[in-house]
Structure 1
Amino acid sequence: MKETLKIQAVELLKNLIETQSFSSEEEGTAVHIESWFQIQDIPFKRTKNNIWAVNKYFDASKPTLLLNSHHDTVKPNKAYTKDPFKAEVEDGKLYGLGSNDAGGCLVSLLSVFAYFFSRKDLQYNLVMVASAEEESSGPNGLNSMLKIIPNIDVAIVGEPTQMHLAVAEKGLVVFDVIVKGTPSHAAHPNDDNAIYNCIPVLEWFKNYKFEKGSETLGDVKLTVSQISGGLQHNAVPSDVNIVVDVRVNDSYTNKEIVEILKSEAPVHSIEARSLRLNSSSIPMDHALVKAGISIGRNTYGSPTLSDQAVLSCPSLKMGPGDSIRSHSADEFIHLYEIEEGIDIYIELLEKVL
């Protein structure tokens, strides 16, 4: 059964690659995933572009384990030398947009769900969600499914981790900052130039350090990522807009980060766009983590964001592929990584389910 599932997984991934599925435009890939469920003879439901199913012998008295990965992609960057929408195999590598992030994870988890679907003796229920809008953190992704699917107790979120265990993940708060000044003609003296006023502000953000670190996630990472101001060469603007990206460790809540920066940042205005993308983790003594360690997987804290951020239960990020390839030109995944991923997922869950 496993070998057949591996073959079908690669074929599904090829179909996903060759179907455009930018965030909120996943209709085509949703149809391919529906077809895969039909081939497996597994009942499923579709909520917008999210496809989901539960194991055959679902028992409400048991705890529930979520298996999740996404089928949306970012847009291809201009450095591609290959057709991003052509599934091309060269030297054991499957090229194409979304192959690594997170198509390989998705088809592997779907295969694992099918492998355990008809088992009667499971200690956990299984819920599989192939979700939309992960890359854009949109309103119709996994976050929208949490009131629709059964209540979950723990989750495995499929993202490329080389099948190691990301036991914690940083959260994200994005801030919009305004630095003000006095507008004027560029030919006249102006000691309150908003652009020059940004210099000490940028230095403050560059040098600011949050006090509390984390054993698994390290320090909070604060980065000025955008700046804009002024419309023409001879007019000094009244204000400059700055965007600050803050990656939050598990020593702070997003709300605490907002309160700290609002009270300390030397700016006229600083506003958070959202507080919902929180840091996430799973206890090191959780059965899933212990099982992963017992089969030789390493543990680490992840600096990148995933759908873990919308979950309130313990969650583990784990999947085939390498995060370094995500959003890169000529994205690829090794075929052996998908096969190995399916094997390792099954070996892990056999110890828990």
Structure 2
Amino acid sequence: MQKDMDTLGLLKKLVSIPSFSREEGPACDFLEGWMKEAGLGEVHRIGNNLWVESSPADDRPVILLNAHIDTVRPASGYTRDPFFATEEDGRLYGLGTNDDGGSLAALIQVYALLKDTPQPYRLILSATAEEEVSGRGGLDLLLPEIGRVDFGIIGEPTGMRMAVAEKGLMVLDCVSFGKSGHAARNEGVNAIYEALGPIDWFRNHVFDRVNDFLGPVKMTVTQIDAGTQHNVVPDRCTFVVDVRPNGMYTNPELLAMIKDSVNCEVKERSTRIDSSSLPMDHPAVVRGLSLGLEPFGSPTTSNQAVCPFPTLKIGPGESSRSHSADEYIVLDEISEGVRILTELLNGLEL
């Protein structure tokens, strides 16, 4: 690691710059300047996405290192200022320290360590926007600019376990219809009652195909809305379903099965957030297993979902701290992550 590369100072500064999804401009401006001063090479930018390359394009495979710079909004239970980084008892507190500042710091250091040593691949480091909202202005926007990628490390807080599979995401907007009437009389058709059958199906249905790492498809009703006032039978009940595909069905296939099974209107917001998986015989997984890294299936989505090439999700920190009040990263987790990722990537033959 370069002696003047103060990634702890970088993290503290980034905490102080709000970088909510689609509002990452000021944080991206600061990081762009920091990367230039740190001597990481020519810094490229599109939108609020940055990348640097270890060498000009050649015939070697390309490995992409990626972490995101956007955050969710702070949870209501914060007892500390979420925008003031506090170092205490070996921890760094502040919004975005765990998700995804720890991975950003680690990948920057790994890139600095590997970029000037002979490798059987070209290395690209990227810091991208809109991950928390699966937006098209993030990694989706950057990938066409950098061209071919053969393998990616997606930095996320996994406790340095290897996420060799990741569930996808579909959000469904559902509507059950009824007929309005006076609540005091036996009139109308209550749309809330009409929704109970479909809601019960989403709660209890089990799809046949189960993934060894990801388990079954998971469906959860997360929002519901109906009625205009207490004495009117509602003629419309809307509800939202969070669906986590497990890679055993394509998203369109799963959507068609759902629409055929429930007696309500179902409209998908998107089918683009696919499940992903990495074969256990992939060179990166084989190397990781030799280092004692544990493989697992991740229930949460990340930038893996938009990568049309093999990826491994791994990084310092714990997923359970993400989006929580008083978020923090343990500083030793970052240094350990740098060590493991360097060993994982140094000399890796794809």
TM tier relative to shorter chain: over 0.9
Which residue of structure 2 lines up, in the alignment, with residue 170 of structure 1?
167
1:47-126 aligned at under 5 Å gives the runs 47-55=46-54, 57-119=55-117, 121-126=118-123
Which residue of structure 1 lines up, in the alignment, with residue 239 of structure 2?
242
- After TM superposition, the score normalised by the length of structure 1 is 0.96
Which residue of structure 1 lines up, in the alignment, with residue 43 of structure 2?
44
How far apart are residue 332 of structure 1 and its match?
0.2
Task: Give yes or no for contact 1:166–1:318 (8 Å, CA) kept in 2.
Answer: yes
Cα separation, 2, equivalents of 1:261 and 1:77 = 33
Which residue of structure 2 lines up, in the alignment, with residue 31 of structure 1?
29
Cα separation, 1, equivalents of 2:85 and 2:251 = 40
Cα separation, 1, equivalents of 2:147 and 2:200 = 48
Cα separation, 2, equivalents of 1:293 and 1:244 = 36
1:1-353 aligned at under 5 Å gives the runs 1=1, 4=3, 8-41=6-39, 42-55=41-54, 57-119=55-117, 121-190=118-187, 192-267=189-264, 269-352=265-348
Cα separation, 2, equivalents of 1:59 and 1:46 = 18
Task: Give yes or no for contact 2:64–2:152 (8 Å, CA) kept in 1.
Answer: yes
Cα separation, 1, equivalents of 2:25 and 2:202 = 41
User: After superposition, what is the alpha-carbon deviation per residue over 1:277-331, rounded to whole angstroms, capped at 9, x for unaligned?
Assistant: 0001111111111111111110000000101000111110000000000000000
Cα separation, 1, equivalents of 2:58 and 2:178 = 61
Question: How many aligned positions are there?
Answer: 348
Task: Give yes or no for contact 2:178–2:191 (8 Å, CA) kept in 1.
Answer: yes
Runs of 4+ in structure 1 over 6 Å off: none
Task: Write the letter of the residue equivalent to 1:35.
Answer: G
Task: Write the letter of the residue equivalent to 2:176.
Answer: V
Task: Write the letter of the residue equivalent to 1:30.
Answer: C
Task: Give yes or no for contact 1:58–1:126 (8 Å, CA) kept in 2.
Answer: no
How far apart are residue 206 of structure 1 and its match?
1.1
How far apart are residue 36 of structure 1 and its match?
2.4
When structure 1 is superposed on structure 2, of 7-16 and 275-284 the one drifting more is 7-16
Cα separation, 2, equivalents of 1:241 and 1:302 = 30
How far apart are residue 94 of structure 1 and its match?
0.2
Cα separation, 2, equivalents of 1:148 and 1:243 = 35
Q: Please state whether the residue corresponding to 1:330 is helix, strand or coil.
A: coil
User: After superposition, what is the alpha-carbon deviation per residue over 1:91-128, rounded to whole angstroms, capped at 9, x for unaligned?
Assistant: 11100000000110011111111222223x21111111
How far apart are residue 200 of structure 1 and its match?
1.9
Cα separation, 2, equivalents of 1:250 and 1:203 = 24
Task: Give yes or no for contact 2:178–2:189 (8 Å, CA) kept in 1.
Answer: yes
Task: Give yes or no for contact 1:95–1:333 (8 Å, CA) kept in 2.
Answer: yes
Cα separation, 1, equivalents of 2:338 and 2:34 = 16
- After TM superposition, the score normalised by the length of structure 2 is 0.96
Cα separation, 2, equivalents of 1:186 and 1:67 = 59
Cα separation, 2, equivalents of 1:259 and 1:199 = 21
* Identical residues among aligned pairs (%): 46
Cα separation, 2, equivalents of 1:184 and 1:170 = 43
Cα separation, 1, equivalents of 2:289 and 2:316 = 16
Task: Write the letter of the residue equivalent to 2:318.
Answer: D
Cα separation, 1, equivalents of 2:130 and 2:100 = 12
Give RMSD over aligned pairs. Answer: 1.3
Task: Write the letter of the residue equivalent to 1:21.
Answer: S
Cα separation, 1, equivalents of 2:187 and 2:67 = 54
Q: Please state whether the residue corresponding to 1:148 is helix, strand or coil.
A: helix
Cα separation, 2, equivalents of 1:312 and 1:197 = 41
Cα separation, 2, equivalents of 1:52 and 1:155 = 14
When structure 1 is superposed on structure 2, of 88-97 and 138-147 the one drifting more is 138-147
Unaligned 5+ segments in structure 2 are none
Task: Give yes or no for contact 1:171–1:249 (8 Å, CA) kept in 2.
Answer: yes
Task: Write the letter of the residue equivalent to 1:47.
Answer: I
Task: Give yes or no for contact 1:164–1:318 (8 Å, CA) kept in 2.
Answer: yes
How far apart are residue 191 of structure 1 and its match?
5.5
Q: Please state whether the residue corresponding to 1:94 is helix, strand or coil.
A: strand
